[in-house]
């Protein structure tokens, strides 16, 4: 760099610098960083577009997507610490304390690894809940509609059928939709399936006929009021993924759904009693009209069939309510299931989350590689330029996280 | 470029002149931690503006910008650098701020101009149908075929 040949500053003289007054390496790092600013501004801009453009009230809250704010804050703290250690490494380097410098660099490397480890843990949490950026593995549904109910029914049915088949192979009769024959089967083949499998089978049957199919039935029943049809499916989604919303559920013994379910149970019991009366009346009528016209008999018969099928559904629902009444955090969590969940705008959330944190994590990885290379060097003053440039890059990584943390975890 | 002096032009050794130091770094570190705590505070139950999230957002962004400035000025040594810092950082910062500022108003208003058809394909707002029916403002948004769409 051919700069500043005069060296005199005591008299006014215009100076001409053919380049910026710093080393080429540092210049390049700064140029690189200024392009990086725009790169991340573009990504964050995209996030802003999608997040604030999402239909009102649909963007998932951190609790919905199992984001833990304290973990995010901890990671912020780790990165800030690593920024301090890298700057102290540079100071030690300049002060000709090579050993000290290496210590600080090692600490930075360690802190960066901690950050990545926490990130890995967080990603795993997302994957465990079926939150993936795209469909084949993602369990996210945008709406609680009949399609969602069907998506719940298929895996449950598959699991139920698998156990049924196993039971049949072991010599028992398969359970049917009919709860009574299922019970008698259990008595027949007691001990054939393992205890836990028997329980699972019962659970799947309860979930299928008492929860999912009931919701589908209510939602498609022409007698159901319009608003209720939608609510029953929304409620179904809540049973699966838990009440959600707000942080720190109080750890109580009472299920969050208890009130609602008790009310439903009371209503159904009343209906059950009414229907049983009706059933008795029809049975008597059938008895009395044994000799009357065929048409009238058929009428009574069909009325009876309707009443009986309704009664059967209600008894399934009662079983289902029994299971739901025990829930604390939703079916998925309490029963270790992997059922589809409803998360409005959830797919978009997953895409932006993994894109932003993923690009940031790649930057962290690159930083760690450079630190690892630095660990192989003797960190004397001649290496101060290298450490300074690496440090600049690392501070930038920290800088990006400073914005990502509130945007992703706290907004 | 009046700040530049011969010693400063050697690149590597340019920053050995009386800045930095453990004390300053630790002070900045403490500031950063306190500021992180401040933005984390919006998450706690003590935060008074739970009803208007925009207040929290603006607060957090202000905190983030402060933290970014602290990191850049102190850790990245921009405070002590010569005037070239403006050449490299200002245009990039301007463009990124510009980008975000241009996006927000445009995008913030986007859903208010949705057509009925667009709403049918949008993610489902988490407003119970009964509440939506009672609240005319919401009803306007969600009435359009959300129900019909689901039950046919």
Question: CB-CB: which of A53, A57, A91 is closest to B126?
Answer: A57
Of all helices (H) and strands (E), which one includes residue A140? Answer: strand A140-141
Cα of A359 vs its chain's centroid, Å = 20
Q: Residue A386: what pLDDT?
A: 94
**φ, ψ (nearest 5 deg) of residue A191:** 90, -10
Instruction: State the average pLDDT over residues B135-147.
Output: 39
CA distances from B58 to A94, A315, A404, B32, B64 (A): 40, 53, 14, 18, 10
Q: Residue A323: what pLDDT?
A: 85
Q: Residue B40: what pLDDT?
A: 86
| Structure token pair of residue B26 | 């630790």
> Would the ipTM clear 0.90, i.e. be above it?
no
CA quadruple A129, A131, A134, A139: dihedral sign = positive
Q: How far apart are CA A112 and CA A120, in angstroms?
A: 12
- Return the biggest CA–CA distance within chain A: 129
| Residue A222 near chain B (CB below 8 Å) | no
Task: Tell me the helix, strand and coil percentages in chain A, rounded to 5.
Answer: 70, 0, 30
Q: How far apart are CA A145 and CA A232, in angstroms?
A: 10
> Does A226 contact B87 at a Cβ distance shorter than 8 Å?
no
| Residue B23 near chain A (CB below 8 Å) | no
> Does A34 contact B126 at a Cβ distance shorter than 8 Å?
no
Instruction: State the average pLDDT over residues A222-249.
Output: 78
Please enumerate in sequence order all residues whose Cβ is within 8 A of that of A6, keeping only pairs 6 or more positions apart, or say none. Answer: A13, A15
Q: Residue B10: what pLDDT?
A: 40
CA distances from A114 to A118, A188, A368 (A): 6, 56, 11
In this predicted structure, the answer to whether residue A346 has a pLDDT above a threshold of 60 is yes
- CB contacts, 8 Å: B1 with chain A: 15, 17, 21
| Residue A219 near chain B (CB below 8 Å) | yes
Q: Residue A243: what pLDDT?
A: 75
In this predicted structure, the answer to whether residue A46 has a pLDDT above a threshold of 80 is yes
- CB contacts, 8 Å: B28 with chain A: 84
Tell me: the pLDDT tens digits for B6-60? 443 444 444 444 566 788 899 999 999 999 999 888 888 888 888 888 888 889 9
Q: Residue B146: what pLDDT?
A: 38
> What is the DSSP code (8-state) at residue A341?
E
What residues pair up with A141 in beta bridges, in sequence order? A342
Instruction: State the average pLDDT over residues A334-352.
Output: 87
What residues pair up with A140 in beta bridges, in sequence order? A341
Instruction: For B57, name the nearest residue in chain A, comparing CA atoms only.
Output: A411
Tell me: the pLDDT tens digits for A188-222? 444 567 788 888 888 888 888 888 988 888 888 88
- CB contacts, 8 Å: B133 with chain A: 227
* pTM check: above 0.90: no
User: For B103-107, which contacts have Cβ atoms below 8 Å and span 24 or more sequence positions?
Assistant: B103/A45, B103/A48, B103/A49, B104/A48, B104/A52, B107/A48, B107/A49, B107/A52, B107/A53
What residues pair up with A341 in beta bridges, in sequence order? A140
Please enumerate in sequence order all residues whose Cβ is within 8 A of that of A170, keeping only pairs 6 or more positions apart, or say none. Answer: A189, A192, A193
For A84-134, what is the HEC assignment?
A: HHHHHHHHHHHCCCHHHHHHHHHHHHHHHHHHHHHHHHHHHHHHHCCCCCC
Taking residue B61's Cβ as centre, other Cβ atoms within 10 Å add up to 16
> Does B107 contact A53 at a Cβ distance shorter than 8 Å?
yes
């Amino acid at each position: 760099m051919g700069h500043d040949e005069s060296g005199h500053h005591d008299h006014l003289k215009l100076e001409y610098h053919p380049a910026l007054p710093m080393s080429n390496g540092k210049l390049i790092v700064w140029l690189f960083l200024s392009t990086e600013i725009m790169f991340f501004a573009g990504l964050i801009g995209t996030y802003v577009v999608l997040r604030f453009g999402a239909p009102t009230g649909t963007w998932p809250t951190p609790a919905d997507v199992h984001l833990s704010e304290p973990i995010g804050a901890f990671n912020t703290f780790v990165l800030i610490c690593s920024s301090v250690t890298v700057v102290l490494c540079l100071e030690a380097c300049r002060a000709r304390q090579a050993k000290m410098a290496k210590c600080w660099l090692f600490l930075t490397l360690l802190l960066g690894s901690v950050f990545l480890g926490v990130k890995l843990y967080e990603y795993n949490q997302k994957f465990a809940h079926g939150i993936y950026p795209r469909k084949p593995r993602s369990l996210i549904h945008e709406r609680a509609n009949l399609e969602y109910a069907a998506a719940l029914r298929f895996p449950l049915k598959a699991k139920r059928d698998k156990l049924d088949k196993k039971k049949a192979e072991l010599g028992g009769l398969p359970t049917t939709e009919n709860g009574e024959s299922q019970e008698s089967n259990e008595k027949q083949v007691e001990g054939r399936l393992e205890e836990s499998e028997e329980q699972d089978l019962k659970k799947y049957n309860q979930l299928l006929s008492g929860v999912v199919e009931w919701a589908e039935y209510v939602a498609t029943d022409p007698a159901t009021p319009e608003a209720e049809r939608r609510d029953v499916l929304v409620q179904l989604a809540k049973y699966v993924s838990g009440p959600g919303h707000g942080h720190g559920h109080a750890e109580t013994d009472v299920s969050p759904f208890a009130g609602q379910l008790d009310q439903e149970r009371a209503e159904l019991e009343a209906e059950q009693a009414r229907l049983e009366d009706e059933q008795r009346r029809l049975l008597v009528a059938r008895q009395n009209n044994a000799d009357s016209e065929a048409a009238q008999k058929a009428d009574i018969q069909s009325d009876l069939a309707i009443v009986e099928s309704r009664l059967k559904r209600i008894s399934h629902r009662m079983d289902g309510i029994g299971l739901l009444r025990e829930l604390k955090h939703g079916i998925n969590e309490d029963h270790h299931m992997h059922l589809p969940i409803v998360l409005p705008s959830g797919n978009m959330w997953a895409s932006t989350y993994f894109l932003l944190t993923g690009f940031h994590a790649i930057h962290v990885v690159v930083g760690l590689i450079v630190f690892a290379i630095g660990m192989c060097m003797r960190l004397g003053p001649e290496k101060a330029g290298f450490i300074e440039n690496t440090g600049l890059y690392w501070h930038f990584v920290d800088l990006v996280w400073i914005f990502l943390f509130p945007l992703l975890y706290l907004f | 470029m009046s700040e530049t002096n011969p010693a400063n032009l050697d690149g590597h050794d340019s920053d050995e002149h009386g800045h930095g130091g453990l004390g300053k770094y630790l002070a900045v570190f403490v500031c950063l931690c306190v500021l992180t705590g401040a933005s984390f505070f919006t998450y706690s139950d003590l935060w008074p503006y739970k009803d208007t999230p925009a207040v929290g957002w603006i607060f957090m962004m202000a905190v983030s910008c402060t933290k970014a400035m602290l990191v850049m000025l102190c850790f990245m040594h921009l405070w002590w650098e010569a005037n070239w810092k403006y050449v490299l950082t200002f245009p990039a910062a301007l463009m990124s701020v510009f980008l975000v500022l241009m996006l927000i108003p445009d995008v913030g208003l986007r859903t208010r101009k949705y057509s009925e058809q667009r709403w049918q394909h949008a993610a489902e707002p988490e407003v119970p149908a009964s509440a939506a029916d009672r609240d005319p403002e919401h009803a306007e948004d969600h009435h359009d075929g959300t129900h019909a769409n689901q039950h046919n």
